[in-house]
């Protein structure tokens, strides 16, 4: 993750370490209410990377995540989706020094 410029300390763009691409809320790609979180190229100027909000959860290293103010959790097809229904999951996020990335 890297922090957005001129944003609060809780707003981030998220980059896939494996693919070196931004994670993106794939709005408009799916007709159903849940939106898949997809990987997009940072070179694609037609698609603006969304802002992810990360909020401390109740457990150790746990957080809730929102993308463009939508709740993020597992959904159909064992993929990660964003929803507007107010139900969210807590995610364990840990900084890995060897990869210099959060996992």
Query: Between 19 and 101, whose confidence is greater?
Result: 101
CATH T-level assignment (fold) for domain 2-102: Trefoil (Acidic Fibroblast Growth Factor, subunit A) (2.80.10)
pLDDT (tens digit per residue) in 78-95: 777 778 877 788 888 888
pLDDT (0 to 100) of residue 27: 52
pLDDT (tens digit per residue) in 9-45: 455 566 665 556 656 555 544 434 555 566 666 666 6
Collect contacts of 26-33 with beta carbons under 8 A, ≥24 apart. Answer: 27/68, 33/83, 33/84, 33/85
CA dist., res. 1 & res. 10, Å (int): 11
Q: How confident is the model at residue 5 (pLDDT cuts 50, 70, 90)?
A: very low
Q: Which residues have a Cβ under 8 Å from the Cβ of 13 and sit 6 or more positions away?
A: 1, 2, 4, 22, 49, 50, 51, 52
């Amino acid at each position: 993750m890297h922090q957005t410029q001129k944003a609060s300390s809780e707003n981030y763009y998220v980059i896939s370490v494996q693919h070196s691409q931004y994670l993106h809320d794939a709005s408009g790609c799916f007709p159903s209410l849940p939106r898949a979180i997809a990987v997009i190229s940072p070179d694609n100027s037609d698609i603006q990377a969304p802002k992810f909000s990360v909020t401390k959860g109740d457990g150790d290293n746990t957080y809730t995540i929102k993308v463009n103010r939508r709740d993020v959790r597992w959904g159909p097809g064992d993929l990660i989706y964003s929803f507007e229904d107010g139900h969210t999951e807590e995610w364990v996020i840990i900084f890995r020094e060897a990869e210099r990335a959060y996992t």
